[in-house]
Amino acid sequence: MALTPLVIAVVRAPRQGVRRAFLLGLATGAVYFAGTLYWLVETMTTFGKLPTPLALFAAAALVAYLSLFPAAFAAILARLRRTLGPRALLLVPAIWVTSELGRQYVWDGFPWALLGYSQITTLPVAQSASLVGVYGLSALLALTATAAAYVILDRGRARWVVAASVAVLVSVTVAWGSARLAASPLLTRGQPVRVAVLQGNVAQEQKWDPALRDEITDRYLAMTRQALDQGATFVIWPESSTPFYFEHDLVRGGAIRRLAAASNATLLIGSDQVEPIKTAAPTDPVKERSYNAAFLVKPDGSIGAIYRKMQLVPFGEYVPLQSVLFFAGPIIGAVADFAPFTAGTEPVLLPVGSHKASTAICYEVIYPNLIRRVVLDGSELLTTITNDAWYGRSSAAYQHWDQAAMRAIEQGRYLARAANTGISGFVDPYGRVLTKAGLFESANLVQDLRFLTDRTVYNRIGDLVAWLSLAVTLVALLVGKR
């Protein structure tokens, strides 16, 4: 029902113009995103060492930007209400999903907390993500909110027809989802694999302390041995878990490779990577590019693949519009000891025996199109590595976990998640949590998963619902203009 008040407010005052509707949508967006992203301020002040007024300004700037999308939704609805009349209410789901699609593709993209994610713990409803993705779930929620608004606004019998039709749709959705959960055919298909995720629980202020480098490395090596003793053949470390450059540290990096070779296991190591930039002349100062990367160590100790993070975190790994927001530069220095990260350019599959897995680093997992792409390329198992220590004990880590779980349903794949301070765990292809660790505790989780090759309807059609919503919205605007 979240959109119902906004829809009613916009529709009840069509003569007061698009401008008023825009302001109503802007206010809605401010509440929506300030209430969801409040933890940005603590992240920037505690770990970015930014003064509180500047952190508030930077967070407010992001909230204001994101609020433009609900504002655009309200303005478009008001415009169509004036030109198409009450029929415009039928277009609310398409207009809303179009605004969410914009959040993914406009500027650098920040599709955090889309409306459809609210259903991830209501598994019978969430199963529809295997058909239409998270955008389809957002459309369903926008539809139910609009039906409620219609019942309030209309005084004729038609409102009960609308309410009954939507109730039937929701009932069918729940019934189909329940049947899918009861059958769960994917749980018996594919090749089994025993996977471990490590949650080292290393405090953010300790990660890059040279005096603790050996202690942190030894902790992860010991946890890996413990997982191997439990039969794990694929062990996953969190994002940037090594307090050194894996490729360049022959002692500590060599110990990890030797452990993989001695145990005949595959390890996925989150570590930063640097590479030199070729200069015009030999006498020019040496420059380097930095990447947030994941290294796949094969059972023979060699590096089988390197994935470089493609979607960087704004204000965490780079500063958007840096010439304007120059004051946010200190946040970058808190991330590591070097310049801002460079984005990777290609998804990389990870060889695990004769099978292929994939990984998403940190908030990359909130991009459904990116995860779909690696599954289309042949990924049989989803993994994601992250360091959510930046968020403290706020709701951000829980939001992040829920959004990652949605990818498992969409793609019909098991998901393994390794987070430095939590939440680490495993999700089955239907979104059920198999096991997970709490925040700020050391954990070594081992679980039997499966490599799967089945493809969901969503994997085949992608974000078709979202793109059709965009097309319908544009056509409606053209028709209304004529």
| CATH number for the domain that contains residue 411 | 3.60.110.10
| 290-329 pLDDT tens trace | 899 999 999 999 999 999 998 877 666 666 555 555 555 5
- Give the pair of three-digit tokens for residue 245: 């450059």
441 is catalytic: no
Q: Dig out the tokens for 2 from the structure.
A: 């979240």
pLDDT of residue 173: 97
Query: Does residue 408 contact residue 415 with C-beta atoms inside 8 Å?
Result: yes
pLDDT, tens digit (0-9, with 9 covering 90-100), for 234-286: 999 999 899 888 988 888 999 999 999 999 999 999 999 988 776 666 666 65
Is 302 found in the same domain as 165?
A: no
Same structural domain, 151 and 197: no
Name the burial class of residue 176, with classes exposed (0-12), middle (13-18) and buried (19+) by CB atoms within 10 angstroms of its CB.
middle
Q: Which residue has the tokens 């059958």?
A: 183
Which tokens sit at 37? Answer: 């992203």
Strands 381-386 and 355-361: parallel
Q: Which of 31-40, 74-83, 153-162, 366-375 has the lowest mean pLDDT?
A: 153-162
Q: Which of these ranges, 46-60, 65-79, 445-459, has the smallest mean pLDDT?
A: 46-60
Confidence at residue 8, expressed as pLDDT on a 0 to 100 scale? 94
Distance CA 291, CA 317 (A): 10
Q: What is the pTM of this model?
A: 0.91
- Is pLDDT at 23 greater than 60 in this prediction? yes
Q: Are 239 and 361 in contact (CB under 8 A)?
A: yes
> Which residues constitute the domain of residue 267?
191-453
Kindly give the pairing relationship between strand 415-419 and strand 425-427. antiparallel
Please name the residues in contact with 464: beta carbons below 8 A apart, sequence gap of 6 or more. 132
pLDDT the model gives residue 155: 83
Please tell me which residue in 42, 207, 298, 309 is annotated as part of the active site: 309
% the chain with pLDDT above 70: 91
Question: 179 and 210 share a domain?
Answer: no
On whether both 203 and 176 belong to a single domain, the answer is: no
The pLDDT of 176-196, averaged and rounded, is 97
94 and 195 share a domain?
Answer: no
Do 220 and 353 have their domain in common?
Answer: yes
Task: Look at residue 326 in the predicted model and tell me its pLDDT.
Answer: 55
Averaged pLDDT, 55-74? 92
Residues 241 and 102 in one domain: no
Is the pLDDT score of 165 beyond 60? yes
16-25, 29-38, 447-456, range with the lowest pLDDT: 16-25
**Domain check: are 125 and 204 in the same one?**
no
Q: What's phi and psi for 249, nearest 5 deg?
A: -90, 100
Please report the DSSP string for 58-125 in residue order: HHHHHHHHHHHHHHHHHHHHHHHHHHHGGGGGGGHHHHHHHHHHHHHHSTT---TT-GGGGGTTSHHH
If DSSP codes are grouped into helix, strand and coil, which group holds residue 127? coil
Domain count, the chain: 2
Q: Share the mean pLDDT of the chain.
A: 90
**Of these residues, 42, 100, 207, 239, which one is catalytic?**
239
Residues 353 and 383 in one domain: yes
Co-location of 362 and 267 in the same domain: yes
Q: Are strands 443-451 and 381-386 parallel, antiparallel or unpaired?
A: unpaired
Res 336: pLDDT: 39
Biggest CA-to-CA distance, the chain: 82
Residues 160 and 273 in one domain: no
Within 316-380, strands assigned E span 350-352, 355-361
Q: Which of 100, 207, 298, 362 is catalytic?
A: 362
Model confidence pLDDT, tens digit, residues 318-370: 665 555 555 555 554 443 333 467 888 899 999 999 999 999 999 899 999 99
Structure tokens at 309: 């993070």
What percentage of the chain carries pLDDT values higher than 90? Answer: 68
Placement of tokens 């459809």 in the chain: 116
298 is catalytic: no
* Residue of 109, 75, 124 lying closest to 95 (CA atoms): 75
Q: What distance in Å separates the CA atoms of residue 240 and residue 295, rounded to the nearest whole number?
A: 10
- Are 26 and 161 within one domain? yes
C-alpha span between 225 and 417 (Å, rounded): 19
Residue 131: what pLDDT? Answer: 98
Q: At what angle do helices 92-105 and 129-153 cross, to 10 degrees?
A: 130
Say if CB 317 and CB 47 are below 8 A apart.
no
Phi and psi at residue 443, in whole multiples of 5°? -150, 140
pLDDT digits (tens, 9 = 90+) for 370-389: 999 999 999 999 999 999 88
User: Is the per-residue pLDDT at 482 higher than 50?
Assistant: yes
pLDDT at position 330: 55
